[in-house]
Structure 1
Amino acid sequence: MDTPTLLTHFRTHDVPLELSRGGEPVWDDAELHRNARLSDPEGYALLALVPGALPWQRARVLLETLAASRDGLGEATRAPLTKVTRALMFGLPPAYAITALLALRRLRANHKHTTRAIVTFVLEHPDADALIEARRPALIDCFEHALGKATARACARLVTEEGGGDPARPVAGGDGDRQAGRDAGSAYLRRSLLRFTADPAAAIVRLRALYGPGTYGAPAPQEPPAPLDPVTEQPPIVTSTNRGDIAATLVHLYRGGPAAELRPALAGYVAQATRGLPRLAANVALVLDTSGSMRGYGDREWAVMSQAMALRLVLSEVCERLTVVETGGTAQAPAGSADLAGALLDALGTGPELVVIVTDGYENHLPGDLARVAATLPRAGVTTPVVLCQAAFTRGDDLTLRDPAPELPRRPFWHQDDFAALLPWVFAHVGEGAEWIRTTMLTRLEGGR
């Protein structure tokens, strides 16, 4: 499984998953998803939880994971897959999840885990009542595919008849025949439906509503009840000090603030940002651009440099071995231009398994040199992956003319919140990164972060 390619694809390929007139799912990247799932079913599914993955890509992962058989997979793999599918069903906007579930019917996927997932969505979704009102035909299609049309409708008849197999509804007069009928109905419901539910009483109520008359024109919920990505800061006006606590503290330090107070606060913010993250068992070299352009001027002074240093501090806590090569001065005293190409060669000389270049993208020392060196490395037999993390002032910065090495994998960042998606992408380029991502996403599933 090509993890870096998948993560980039999940973040950039925003094409809807559609159902054709004939009912077949239409998705132009089906082969990419299928090959990834075949290579590593659990790792593939967990990648959908990485912050920044697009909803339509997550819907594809939900479809691919539910459509595939789990024969031959051990419980250690099945359990995370079940948790991932539940997280995706409740973490996606409902319309996206419903499209994926409808596609399962067109693919005739009817595994036991598929049935359980569909029943869970239809009858246990936090917004199930509103969804049933607004999307009744689609949900009935999904439900009848999960149980089989005859079984689903038999269950519906049982719960809508008087007494209807519902143990919570009393039988008037103690009539023996009616009691026996209710007992038989209850047994049928348990065998055919309720064993797939966590709350049988609520499931029965919602099943009645699903096959009830409904309300025409009821609005459908649009937002996911359990969003997959953490809430991020969206300041209306970006300044040097509202780009995350680590960077803000560094700005105050660089501007001459009281170190005795700021340094303990800085350490606390770094600890908070890295709490619960596993250690990356790899030797990483960091090329840090400390040139004058990184310092900036005016209202933006120290903004980009502080964000780059924030990333450095986080990497130093997460990586078991981190070697830093600064170029262009020091973080506290940027001066002159950065020799990114020379610093890259120095970093490679330390024998790393991964090189991370952090720069604003301005190569004012021998422009084009980094690109030439990067292009030459494979021909010289250097196979060490090199990635470029581009520090920006805002999310909307135009970086098209600030790409010093177009051949290198590149990703921008401007806020501390970006680290949640940036670190998995960076670490995906080194062998040990797959286990780091797996552990991190499993921790997220368990509610650890």
Structure 2
Amino acid sequence: MDKKLLVEYLNSRQIPLTGQEQMLTLHQRLCEAAPEFYLYLLADPFADLSHKREMLANLIRLPAAHTITRQRIVEQLRTLPAEEALLVADVIRQRRINNRRAREIGLQLLIGHEQFPQLAATRRQRVTLLLKHLLGERTWSSVRRFLAQPSEVGEKFLRRELLHYAPDPEVARETLCFLAGVPFNPTDPTLAKRMAAREQLEQGEGLPRETLFGLRGIYHRDVPASRVRSLSTSTARVARQDGPLTRLYREALLQELEGEEYCEELWRRTEQAVASLPLIEARLAVVLDLSASMASSGERAFHPVALALALVRLLQQRVTSLTLYQVGGSAPASEELLPQPRGMTDLASALLEAARRQPQAILLITDGYENMRQGDAALVLQGLRLLGLTMPVYQIVPVYTSAEQLAQRRLGDDFVLLPVQHEQGVREVLTRLFLDYAAEFISPVEAEQVQQLLLTR
């Protein structure tokens, strides 16, 4: 596999594919070059949904992927959250993919999914439309007829066409009755709640907000919207899911944890975090920004510095040679000392010092607010290039959300900009370090190493 293909994928995987024809070509080339590797990208937690939909379409249609069995594709789809898997599979309907391979994958995923009743109850229209497409209008009409009018012929038909995919045929039968609009007595609690909400909306408490609003629009138009919001699962704000090391550092910086308890917990969480990460042979220099701006404020308070410290600790554990250069901070970062963010951001001097040892790569972990001689880091990097130093230099930006705009915080065009929202983003950093010094053509063994870095959890 050409290394450039993988680097291009890493550069684009978080950006929606809409209007990017060159990215569609990239997906096709990646699938044709390494279909086994491409299959595992379906489980990439950082890829935008549009990329996963394109992957599934290619795995179904491209001849190069036909060595991969339908069952393996379904297994990869089931590693995704149920609703995400449904949205990915819906590409079969939206692109009018009509072949036996698509039909088998879609039906195995839907009817064989342990959350089939929940998906039907909360996403009825999408599930019904997908089933109609997979089966065809005539077969779907027959399914409805045999569900409504049971017979021996009808039972054989239902088992042959649908029920043999289900781990529990009776639960699948009542789910199909619900989708087909055939009267039945529900035993599944989610289906029962959805049915009861038709009579009294309060009975649907806990269903997704969009599901309740759909029921309100049909059966309960006089119910205030505020009442629907109070009944839905969306009312409680979902807590931010930081990684275990980031949470620990943030708690310690907020002085909710200290001393011996902090040190013991730091070691425990570090061991857990690096257990599935392979060791990377590299000489790495890391410039860590602990200046005052890394503290941030409000709900983001101490998030940038906590995430930065977590990334450094993970890199120290999984890169064979790492030299740390600290900018700002109340004390040197170590296992015993946890510095508070303070001081100015003199990244240029630290970058120059790091480059003197000529490492294989340099990482600047910083929010990008260069408040001491702004622009000097870019000038230093330009000077290093003129001196013939070609090592890659990355600007790693700890971000709170993927929507943050970084155009004004980029140190310069010569830096490779990598926004990182979660400490699991260290996997992409390690992957890029690995690829920087891999040959132009990646062997199957190296592809497996990349797969372990990117996707093993």
- 2:33 aligns with one of 36, 39, 47: 39
Q: Give 3-state SS (helix, strand or coil) of 1:244's partner.
A: helix
Counterpart-to-counterpart distance in 2, 1:2 and 1:60: 16
Counterpart-to-counterpart distance in 2, 1:190 and 1:282: 55
Query: Residue 217 of structure 2 corresponds to which residue in structure 1?
Result: none
- 1:141 aligns with one of 117, 132, 136: 132
In the alignment, is the contact (CA less than 8 A) between 1:7 and 1:47 conserved in 2?
no
Deviation, 1:44, is 3.4
Residue 422 of structure 2 corresponds to residue 418 of structure 1: yes
Residue 139 of structure 2 corresponds to residue 127 of structure 1: no
Q: Which runs of 5+ in 1 are unaligned?
A: 17-25, 167-184, 225-230, 445-449
Residue 80 of structure 2 corresponds to residue 73 of structure 1: no
Higher RCO structure (Cα 8 Å, ≥6 apart): 1
In the alignment, is the contact (CA less than 8 A) between 1:287 and 1:358 conserved in 2?
yes
Query: Residue 442 of structure 2 corresponds to which residue in structure 1?
Result: none
In the alignment, is the contact (CA less than 8 A) between 2:13 and 2:47 conserved in 1?
yes
Amino acid of the structure 2 residue aligned with 1:63: A
Amino acid of the structure 2 residue aligned with 1:356: L
In the alignment, is the contact (CA less than 8 A) between 1:85 and 1:117 conserved in 2?
no
Residue 19 of structure 2 corresponds to residue 2 of structure 1: no
1:290-338 deviation digits (Å, cap 9, x = unpaired): 5644676999997654442222112223334433233457344888655
Identity of matched residues, %:
22
1:374-428 deviation digits (Å, cap 9, x = unpaired): 3466666555332211246888876543322233222345xxx6112x2233233
Counterpart-to-counterpart distance in 2, 1:143 and 1:192: 11
Deviation, 1:137, is 5.8
Query: Residue 49 of structure 1 corresponds to which residue in structure 2?
Result: 43
1:223–1:344 distance in 2 versus 1, CA, 3 Å: farther
Q: Give 3-state SS (helix, strand or coil) of 1:46's partner.
A: helix
- Superposed, 1:163-178 pairs within 5 Å as 163-165=151-153
In the alignment, is the contact (CA less than 8 A) between 2:365 and 2:396 conserved in 1?
yes
Counterpart-to-counterpart distance in 1, 2:159 and 2:399: 57
Counterpart-to-counterpart distance in 1, 2:390 and 2:396: 19
Amino acid of the structure 2 residue aligned with 1:50: D
Q: Give 3-state SS (helix, strand or coil) of 2:369's partner.
A: coil
- 1:59 aligns with one of 53, 60, 63: 53
In the alignment, is the contact (CA less than 8 A) between 2:289 and 2:365 conserved in 1?
no
Comparing 286-295 with 116-125, greater Cα deviation is found at 286-295
- Superposed, 1:400-419 pairs within 5 Å as 400-413=407-420, 418-419=422-423
Query: Residue 314 of structure 1 corresponds to which residue in structure 2?
Result: 314
- Superposed, 1:356-375 pairs within 5 Å as 356-364=363-371, 366-375=373-382
1:306–1:144 distance in 2 versus 1, CA, 3 Å: closer
Query: Residue 270 of structure 1 corresponds to which residue in structure 2?
Result: 270
Considering fraction of residues, name the structure with more helix.
2
Comparing 352-361 with 385-394, greater Cα deviation is found at 385-394
Residue 391 of structure 2 corresponds to residue 384 of structure 1: yes
Counterpart-to-counterpart distance in 2, 1:425 and 1:232: 26
Query: Residue 83 of structure 1 corresponds to which residue in structure 2?
Result: 75
Amino acid of the structure 2 residue aligned with 1:285: L
Amino acid of the structure 2 residue aligned with 1:385: P
Amino acid of the structure 2 residue aligned with 1:401: Q
Counterpart-to-counterpart distance in 2, 1:355 and 1:389: 10
- Superposed, 1:153-192 pairs within 5 Å as 160-165=148-153, 186=156, 192=161
Q: Give 3-state SS (helix, strand or coil) of 2:56's partner.
A: helix
Q: Which runs of 5+ in 2 are unaligned?
A: 184-193, 199-203, 212-236, 334-338, 436-445
- 1:234 aligns with one of 233, 240, 243: 240
1:313–1:131 distance in 2 versus 1, CA, 3 Å: closer
- 1:430 aligns with one of 433, 437, 445: 433
Query: Residue 324 of structure 2 corresponds to which residue in structure 1?
Result: 324
Counterpart-to-counterpart distance in 1, 2:122 and 2:303: 45
Residue 84 of structure 2 corresponds to residue 92 of structure 1: yes
Deviation, 1:252, is 3.6
Q: Give 3-state SS (helix, strand or coil) of 1:270's partner.
A: helix
Deviation, 1:278, is 1.7
In the alignment, is the contact (CA less than 8 A) between 1:294 and 1:302 conserved in 2?
no
Counterpart-to-counterpart distance in 2, 1:303 and 1:190: 54
Counterpart-to-counterpart distance in 1, 2:404 and 2:97: 43
In the alignment, is the contact (CA less than 8 A) between 2:362 and 2:391 conserved in 1?
yes
- 2:247 aligns with one of 244, 266, 280: 244
Counterpart-to-counterpart distance in 2, 1:427 and 1:357: 14
Deviation, 1:435, is 4.4
Q: Give 3-state SS (helix, strand or coil) of 2:281's partner.
A: strand
1:441–1:304 distance in 2 versus 1, CA, 3 Å: closer
Deviation, 1:353, is 4.3
Counterpart-to-counterpart distance in 1, 2:369 and 2:178: 61
TM-score (norm 1): 0.66
Q: Give 3-state SS (helix, strand or coil) of 1:287's partner.
A: strand
Amino acid of the structure 2 residue aligned with 1:163: S
In the alignment, is the contact (CA less than 8 A) between 2:428 and 2:453 conserved in 1?
no
Counterpart-to-counterpart distance in 2, 1:395 and 1:382: 32
Amino acid of the structure 1 residue aligned with 2:412: A
Amino acid of the structure 1 residue aligned with 2:312: R
Counterpart-to-counterpart distance in 2, 1:389 and 1:44: 26
TM-score (norm 2): 0.65
Q: Give 3-state SS (helix, strand or coil) of 1:268's partner.
A: helix
In the alignment, is the contact (CA less than 8 A) between 1:386 and 1:408 conserved in 2?
yes
Deviation, 1:158, is 5.2
- Superposed, 1:252-267 pairs within 5 Å as 252=255, 259-267=259-267
Corresponding pairs, count? 388
In the alignment, is the contact (CA less than 8 A) between 1:130 and 1:221 conserved in 2?
no
1:66–1:297 distance in 2 versus 1, CA, 3 Å: closer
Amino acid of the structure 2 residue aligned with 1:430: L
1:434–1:347 distance in 2 versus 1, CA, 3 Å: farther
Q: Give 3-state SS (helix, strand or coil) of 1:363's partner.
A: coil
1:189-247 deviation digits (Å, cap 9, x = unpaired): 555545544444444444455555699x98996889xxxxxx97439xx9xxx962223
1:205–1:364 distance in 2 versus 1, CA, 3 Å: closer
1:297–1:139 distance in 2 versus 1, CA, 3 Å: closer
